[in-house]
Amino acid sequence: MRQLVDEFWEWRVAQQPRCADDLTRVVRPPGWTPDFSSAAIARYRKELADFEARWESCDPGSNVADAVDHMLIGSALARVRWELDVLRPWRTNPGFYVDQTVGVVFDLLTVPDIDDARMRDVHRALAQTPRILADGRANLDGHAYREFATLSATQLATVESDLAAVVDALPEYHDMSSAAGAAIDALVEFRGWLAGESARFVAAKPVGREAFERYLRTVALVPYSVDELLSLGRREAERAAFLERLERQRNGTPPAARPRPVFSGGAEQSEAQARAEQEVRDFYVARGLLGQPDDLLHYHTHPMPDYLAPIAWAGCADDLTGPDRLDQNGGAYFPPPGPDLPYFYAANAHDPRAGIVHEGVHYQQLTLSWKHPRAARRWYYDSCVNEGIAFYNEEMVLAAGLFDDAPTTREIIYNFMRLRALRVVVDVGLAAGTLDIPAAAELLEEMVPMDAATARHEAVFFATTPGQAMTYQVGKTQILALLNDAIRAGGPGFELRAFHDRLWREGNVPIALQRWELLGDRSDIELLGAAHDGAAHDGAAHDGAAHD
């Protein structure tokens, strides 16, 4: 099976589309550019079918660890099938091609130290933009979802000035301006085409309840039904709203008050974050919560560079490093502190620990997982466990006393809890078709509450990536159940730090599989009904292909 694992991931990092989510970033092969032409789609389907056949014929044996690895590859294969033949963003979502062009440039520029090699990659991405958008127009013609087309045209409203500003701020590199000019022309033409062809596009269609249920079983490996998810999201949102209101009453904070920045400039905020990051690490050790290995580097934040700020709308402005960069610190970028910052930037400008205990956890968890001795576990599969760990960590350090000195930060963490619970409701509603994008944005804006721009961004992203928004709350809920059962099984000898050390190291492995391996409990796997029966592509291969 090791050969299958290695060959699949070598193929996947070249085939995988770029997505705005930071967890999905992978190390691309030299000279890589996205290819989603019709010929490439046909080739990917054939290659995927070959991998699926090899996976189905592979006998993992009786060893539980090997069986877990086998199910992980089944999950990864199911995700590719979900993307190609159920979601079909290459066919329905013009924003998909913005991701493969401007988004690729953005990701390249999130890595510090822009050297000649990276500039060559940026140049290549710009030079390939006209080809990628031409393929996109061919794929989207008559198939694009009208709502997604309108949103993409809006996203590209200032792309000519945005990209020009990026190039002006970058180090000089021979004919960068020529490649950038061609890319800008192609993006402006693409924007005009979206506006002019809107009448020929079709109304957006949700993936539907049945397909979403199959996603839960075969990709996310989550043993919950859609109805259980909705109930979970609503109950947790109510709980979080109560805790936040109680905290605000305790502190005498008006209900509508927002966190205010406490820093006069970016350098001051960056320095404070570096100190806070070490304080959080020391807190883990002092409270016996989580080990901090000597070779684990740091998560630091920096003012947004001039070459990244103009296209900050294209993704998550952070750098979680990668398997080939374990000797480098992770980090994130932020805009200047001020009174009108978006939701998450405002929280971090008030207390950098609000981001450290979530995004900083992603950096630590991924760094530890990338070193895993079992190759199948070094790669991202589905966000439920990754986002679940980070969300779980927020409440863990809150309860353990990290924010005892910071009343407003406690309010922020409770508000984060409310947002992430409501995301479950939004995710399921968008997938099942009971919510559209405006209604989802309105729900988040009013119920969290949050600024309109962030609410709109979240609703759009979740509409195009069903199954992502629920991951925070669902993963955290699964972790709490696993912890409770592990405490009972461990008896007086149970050690919380050892549990967390294992959880972080196995942080790419869905909790249903961790439960089996840690406790010998197959109950979640039996609920999934997809152990070794070919469920990686059961039914999914035909759902979307019939529409092509």
- 189-202 pLDDT, tens digit per residue, is 999 999 998 888 99
Rounded mean pLDDT, 494-502 = 98
Same-domain check for residues 57 and 179: yes
Same domain, 290 and 174: no
DSSP per-residue letters across 7-21? HHHHHHHHHSPP-S-
Q: In whole angstroms, give the CA distance from residue 455 to residue 446.
A: 9
542 pLDDT higher than 70: no
257: left (phi over 0), alpha (psi -120 to 50) or beta: beta
Picking from 312, 346, 371, the residue at the C-terminal end of a domain is 371
Whole domain around residue 366: which residue ranges? 262-371
Any domain includes 449:
no
Is residue 234 situated within a structural domain?
Answer: no
Summarize the confidence of residues 288-313 as an average pLDDT. 97
Contacts 24+ apart (CB under 8 A), 11-18: 11/47, 11/51, 12/76, 12/80, 12/379, 15/44, 15/47, 15/80, 17/83, 17/89, 17/90, 17/96, 17/99, 17/100, 18/99, 18/100, 18/103, 18/104, 18/107
pLDDT greater than 90 at residue 539 = no
Query: In this structure, are 273 and 185 located in the same domain?
Result: no
**Does 433 have pLDDT greater than 60?**
yes
Q: Decide if 535 is inside a domain.
A: no
Residue 327 domain flag: yes
Q: What is the pLDDT of residues 243-260, one digit of tens each?
A: 999 999 999 999 778 899
The mean pLDDT of the chain is: 94
pTM: 0.94
**Helices (H), ranges, 197-225:** 209-215
Same domain, yes or no: 169 and 275? no
End position of a domain, from candidates 336, 371, 406: 371
The residue length of the chain stands at 548
Quote the pLDDT of residue 530.
47
CB 486 within 8 A of CB 499: yes
Q: Provide the token pair at 79.
A: 């995700």
Let me know whether 177 and 48 are in one domain. Answer: yes
Residue 398, pLDDT > 50, answer: yes
Q: Is the pLDDT of residue 545 over 60?
A: no
DSSP codes of every residue in 367-403 = HHHHT-SSGGGSS---HHHHHHHHHHHHHHHHHHTTT
114 plus 190 within the same structural domain: yes
Q: Alpha-carbon distance 95 to 503, whole Å? A: 35
Residues 166, 77 share a domain:
yes
Share of the chain above pLDDT 70, in %: 97
- Confidence at 381, pLDDT banded by 50, 70, 90: confident
pLDDT value at residue 529: 84
Closest CA to 415 of 439, 373, 450: 450
Same domain, yes or no: 36 and 185: yes
Structure tokens at 472: 């925070």
pLDDT band at residue 136 under the 50/70/90 scheme = very high
Q: Which residues of 228-257 are buried (b: 16+ CB within 10 A; e: fewer)?
A: ebbebbeebbeebbebbeebbeeeebeeee
302 domain residue, yes or no: yes
Whether 489 shows a pLDDT value over 90: the answer reads yes
Q: How confident is the model at residue 543 (pLDDT cuts 50, 70, 90)?
A: very low
Query: Model confidence over 109-123: pLDDT tens digits?
Result: 999 988 999 999 999
The domain total for the chain is 2
**In this predicted model, what pLDDT tens digit does every residue of 74-126 receive, in sequence order?**
999 999 999 999 999 999 999 999 999 999 999 999 999 889 999 999 999 99
d(CA 93, CA 437): 14
* Sign of torsion over alpha carbons 100, 101, 103, 104: positive
Taking a C-beta distance cutoff of 8 angstroms, is the pair 408, 415 a contact?
no
Q: What is the mean pLDDT of residues 431-438?
A: 94
How far apart (Å, rounded) are the C-alpha atoms in residues 299 and 61?
A: 40
Q: Are residues 201 and 323 in the same domain?
A: no
188 and 276 share one domain:
no
Q: Report the run of H or E that residue 303 belongs to, with start and end.
A: strand 299-303
Q: Do the domain assignments include residue 269?
A: yes
Q: Which two tokens stand for residue 402?
A: 């990290």
Tell whether 93 is covered by a domain: yes
- The set of residues, in sequence order, having a beta carbon less than 8 Å from that of 514 and lying 6+ positions away, is 385, 482, 503, 506
In this structure, the answer to whether residues 293 and 202 fall within a common structural domain is: no
φ, ψ of residue 298 in degrees (nearest 5): -115, 160
Question: Is residue 448 one of the residues assigned to a domain?
Answer: no
Q: If residue 330 lies in a helix (H) or strand (E), which one and from where to where? A: strand 330-334
Strands 330-334 and 318-319: antiparallel
Distance, CA of 410 to CA of 404 (rounded, Å): 8
Task: Over range 373-389, report the average pLDDT.
Answer: 93
Q: Which residues contact 471 (CB under 8 A, 6 or more apart)?
A: 220, 382, 383, 384, 386, 387, 388
> Looking at the predicted structure, is the pLDDT value of residue 390 above 70?
yes
Residue 380 pLDDT > 50, yes or no? yes
Domain boundary among 371, 393, 417: 371
What percent of the chain has a predicted confidence (pLDDT) above 90?
A: 91
Predicted confidence (pLDDT) at residue 547 exceeds the cutoff of 70: no
The answer to whether residues 93 and 194 belong to one domain is: yes
How far, CA to CA in Å, does 521 sit from each of 18, 59, 63, 446?
A: 36, 21, 14, 41
Residue 548: the pLDDT is 66
Token readout for 138 is 């061919």
